[in-house]
Structure 1
Amino acid sequence: MWARRGGKTIVALLSVAVLVLSWYGWQFIGDVNSGLTTTDVFGDDTMAAEPLDGAIDILLVGQDSRTDAQGNPLPREVLDKLHAGEADGERQTDTMILVHIPQDGRGAVAISFPRDAWVELPDGYGTNKLNSAFSRAYNYTSRQLHQAGDKDADEIDNEAKVEGRKNLIRAVEKLIDRPGMIDRYAEVNLASFYEITTAIGGVDVCLKNDVHEERSGVNLKAGKHTLKGAQALAFVRQRYGLPNYDLDRIARQQAFLSGLVQKMLSPDVLFDPGTLREVVRSVQKSVVLSEDWDLMQFAAQMRGLSAGQVEFRTIPVVGAAQFGSASALEVDVDEVREFVDDIVGTPRDDDRSHVEPGDYTVDVYNGSGDPALGDEVRSLLSDKGFQGEGSAIVDGGQESVVRHAPGEEDAGQAAADALGTDVEVQEDADVPQGRIDVHVGPGFSPGEPGGGDESGVTSVVPAAAQAPVQNTPEPDTGAETRTDESDAPDDPITAGDIPCVN
């Protein structure tokens, strides 16, 4: 059984075509980096390092925000055209797509993640819908900064958005079990979609049946259409009346993006300086990109890309399920990970973590009751190259645990692996960057399993987030279900086609 929940959707995959276009815009109108809105979601190291497999992995996010990239409310007339309600700055990540571009750049796969997929979120935010990862981190950070009282409203909003984006990236990586895979981030909103589709003169789509739905404003006959602006947005945002609900909406988004990629790679756009100039202006106004994105390097990798070599896929789902008061899509995590592995390849052990033990100092706290155990643990860590000396005797009672600074989960796991046993690994904001705390509890014995799941990794739980964040499902607001799966969209869409969709 499939399920969907109402929500306002925007196509984040728009970003990939915008990025491709940005290349060619460089040839005609100069540096398209100038004037872009950027966000520091990776820090200094991620963008400087080349991925081991040479691939680029971009998380494309569609925000249902009634503001532009600079946080300015959209004009009332624009909101009315888009059937978008008030300019209230709502933060719903309605579309999440992972784009994997191999090293040769001659093909790309875009993997859609349903917003209502029920998953375990990172950083202590509990189990909830995937699209709540951004808002939960945003809200928590905003509350903490307001309480601190040393920043103004704009500073708080900007920092909270960065933490929301980081948490969403980690949530996708956690679901597919590929920490550190994502190295680029692009975010679009209602304004982006409206302005860019208008600038390129519209996108060709095809409908299987007549469609009329008042809430979204869509009113189209069966067959082919060229859509732009408000019409295009209505096409991809329709919430009601679709036989497969969210899965049909994803199929529409993918079909629209297949047409968009075709249009943006066509001579009508690539060799028209006026059109390119308008699109770049739209991107600069309403698209957010991760900092330090080397567009020249990206262009070199994308040089051989053609529309027919971009494929759109959707992760498998089990079906509709009720989780407390929330209707969501149940997913089989193992099936999702196998699905992603089949598309992008199985990661090698040495690809999953790029930790240099010598860059980390480990503090050992021995609460086991056995004074000699501290030296034994120190020896195990030193043998693996970790820095630090001796150990401190502390009161017992605490379970064995490894704590690491935010963003250094690989290092924490590497230290836990050095102990030769399953030890809980936690993120702790009180641990400085470059340091790791190892607490040895009663009953700890190197080489014998001592807890945690089969992989030795448990939820990453920042101590600061435990108290204020409640594992409360988002309330259901009119979920619809279906029992007939026969019409569920299955086949991948390729960006060289104009497929007819529901």
Structure 2
Amino acid sequence: MSTIARGRHVRDPRHPVASLLVRGALTAVAVVVVVSLSAAAVLVRQLDGNIVAADVEALLEDRPTPEPEATEALNILVLGADRAEGEAVDLGSSVEQSRRADTTILVHLAADRDSATLVSIPRDSMVQGPACLLEDGTRTDAGLIQFNAAFEHGGVACTINTVEETTGVFIDHYVVVDYDGFLDIVDALGGVRVCLPEAVDDSFSGLDLPAGEQTVRGDQALAYVRARKIGDGSDLGRIERQQAFIASMVQQATSTGLLARPNRLISVLDAGTRSLTTDPGLASVTALASVARSVQALPADRVRFVTVPTEPWPQDENRVVWTPAADELWASIREDAPLPGSEPSAPPSPEPSPTQAPDPLTVSPAEITVDVVNAGARGGAAGDAATDLRIQGFTVGAILNGDEEVDGVRLVVPPGQEEAARTVLEAFPDAELVAATDGERIRVELGSGAPFVQEVPNRLGDEPLPQRTLPPDPGASPSLSVRAATDDICA
């Protein structure tokens, strides 16, 4: 495993709530890190002794190389799993008992620590699993598996190998939280507020709650995050509840003033550390605190929960497969880039100053003949553009398919056609102008992302341009469903 802070300077603490949240997806990880700011040395040693370290480095193979721009980002794989009392976490062994990672969340801390993304991986996902190396030297079989079977058959190491193989994301650290310890954390917090749209009486999970907002603790809290026989009964519905529950835990810790009440804080810290197994790089309060300090300034609304986009598996509707949108999600994690669809809109172009009015156009569309070329645009784009130009008085000489693809629109302007090009440019305001060495007609090349033709000021006639819309892209990925840590628990 790599070093924790990657050589970054930590920031002064300003928002401890954010650090509580980011610690993985379970407050077990989150609350531990605060101890470096408040606990005595004796308590630190006690809590260090609670954390179990398990080194899986020797079992990790064919690992991806972090992207250059993402070398200071941090990816922590958080696993929630059942474990009998006193049972060690499997490193990479063949397991006889039916243990599976019930919850898997990839926590991505941006290199600048300005955002954190918690990606839930559905346990029912069908993925291509690698041949994982086990401690005894044997290997699991490579091939199509249900995602959480990687933990059952090959332990933590195989789960990391599977995530890295299927996503290309390098995993820096891992944390396993057992559910018995999770119960202790919830109880130490005094319970956690949840919201149910309707009453639930599920004998399978033991969840028995009325509708509306209420506080859960103990077995009811565990049943709430694990139950699958409520709502639509899907793993995706369960993931939504888990994400809301994690956010509520942070809100609970904040509203009760946990940091200002040492007796409550110590009980939560003790419960949290007793539930953790991590790689050696995170297996101390000091190491966890180092991560915490690096995100102290992170506002809670910059912590977002995302589920890997899926669709039903054709062979079994109770299983899912990742959609093309998942590729975009993993690319954003690998490249430490904004989530797909979350990039801020470009600022509007400033209005021209009245004192800087453009020179009037000197060439009428009736005097201009253009060739229109499809150079990588959608099908039919050149024909649509030719129609819109003719409506305004332009003459279209030829409609062609180009040999070279361009971005947007490119106007190729022959010698002596500079003034005419100013008129054509009004129809394509953001076009790139390229001077040609010969020829008589302006060439309009439409590439990827080319806009529709605009109305020119000195157009002929008054027939309106058609109201055109882009056809749906069959390969387009649906937008991600993102939940912020500050969202209402009933949302």
TM-score range, shorter chain: 0.5 to 0.7
1:249 CA displacement: 0.6
Q: 1:23 to 1:286 in 2, by over 3 A?
A: closer
Q: 1:222 to 1:213 in 2, by over 3 A?
A: same
- Which residue among 162, 165, 171 is the counterpart of 2:156? 165
2:159 maps to a residue whose letter is L
Q: Distance in 2 between matches of 1:248 and 1:173?
A: 25
Q: How does 1:72-471 map to 2 (within 5 A)?
A: 90-123=98-131, 124-137=141-154, 164-178=155-169, 181-243=170-232, 245-266=234-255, 268-293=257-282, 294-322=287-315, 327-332=318-323, 334-342=324-332, 345=335
1:260 CA displacement: 1.3
What secondary structure does 1:127 align onto?
A: strand
Which structure 1 segments of 5+ residues have no match? Answer: 1-11, 72-87, 138-163, 348-487
Question: What residue in structure 1 maps to residue 413 of structure 2?
Answer: none
Q: 1:128 to 1:29 in 2, by over 3 A?
A: same
Question: What residue in structure 1 maps to residue 76 of structure 2?
Answer: 58
What secondary structure does 1:33 align onto?
A: helix
1:257 CA displacement: 0.7
Q: Distance in 2 between matches of 1:115 and 1:338?
A: 20
Question: What residue in structure 1 maps to residue 39 of structure 2?
Answer: 29
Q: 1:52 to 1:247 in 2, by over 3 A?
A: closer
2:85 maps to a residue whose letter is T
What secondary structure does 1:104 align onto?
A: coil
- Which residue among 484, 489, 497 is the counterpart of 2:487? 497
1:16 CA displacement: 4.6
CA contact (8 A) 1:66 1:89 kept: no
Note the alpha carbon deviations across 1:53-73, whole angstroms, 9 max, x for none. Answer: 3111110101133335657xx
Q: Distance in 2 between matches of 1:51 and 1:68?
A: 42
What secondary structure does 1:303 align onto?
A: coil
Shifted more, 216-225 versus 12-21: the winner is 12-21
1:315 CA displacement: 0.7
Note the alpha carbon deviations across 1:440-473, whole angstroms, 9 max, x for none. Answer: xxxxxxxxxxxxxxxxxxxxxxxxxxxxxxxxxx
CA contact (8 A) 1:58 1:182 kept: yes
What secondary structure does 2:50 align onto?
A: coil
Q: 1:238 to 1:113 in 2, by over 3 A?
A: same
- Structure number with greater Rg is 2
1:344 CA displacement: 5.7
Provide the TM-score with structure 1 as the length reference. 0.55
Q: 1:14 to 1:242 in 2, by over 3 A?
A: farther
1:196 CA displacement: 0.6
Question: What residue in structure 2 maps to residue 38 of structure 1?
Answer: 53
Question: What residue in structure 2 maps to residue 20 of structure 1?
Answer: 30
1:174 maps to a residue whose letter is E
Q: Distance in 2 between matches of 1:235 and 1:490?
A: 24
What secondary structure does 1:219 align onto?
A: strand
Q: Distance in 2 between matches of 1:276 and 1:169?
A: 32
What secondary structure does 2:314 align onto?
A: strand
1:199 CA displacement: 0.7
1:121 CA displacement: 0.4
Q: Distance in 2 between matches of 1:499 and 1:58?
A: 25
CA contact (8 A) 2:78 2:106 kept: yes
1:15 CA displacement: 5.1
1:116 maps to a residue whose letter is D
CA contact (8 A) 2:23 2:292 kept: no
What secondary structure does 1:114 align onto?
A: coil
1:103 CA displacement: 2.4
Q: Distance in 1 between matches of 2:256 and 2:69?
A: 32
Shifted more, 61-70 versus 268-277: the winner is 61-70
CA contact (8 A) 1:70 1:285 kept: no
Q: 1:241 to 1:35 in 2, by over 3 A?
A: closer
Q: 1:112 to 1:36 in 2, by over 3 A?
A: same
Question: What residue in structure 2 maps to residue 67 of structure 1?
Answer: 85
Q: Distance in 2 between matches of 1:271 and 1:255?
A: 25
1:195 CA displacement: 0.6
1:205 CA displacement: 1.4
- Over aligned residues, Cα RMSD in angstroms? 3.2
Count, aligned residues: 301
1:207 CA displacement: 1.4
1:28 maps to a residue whose letter is S
Q: 1:240 to 1:14 in 2, by over 3 A?
A: farther
1:95 maps to a residue whose letter is T
Q: 1:280 to 1:213 in 2, by over 3 A?
A: same
Name the % identity: 30
What secondary structure does 2:229 align onto?
A: coil
Q: 1:209 to 1:262 in 2, by over 3 A?
A: same
1:307 maps to a residue whose letter is A
1:287 maps to a residue whose letter is L
Note the alpha carbon deviations across 1:104-141, whole angstroms, 9 max, x for none. Answer: 3232110011001000001243211000111122xxxx
CA contact (8 A) 2:24 2:30 kept: no
Q: Distance in 2 between matches of 1:55 and 1:346?
A: 7
Question: What residue in structure 1 maps to residue 349 of structure 2?
Answer: none
1:489 CA displacement: 12
Q: 1:113 to 1:305 in 2, by over 3 A?
A: same
1:133 maps to a residue whose letter is A
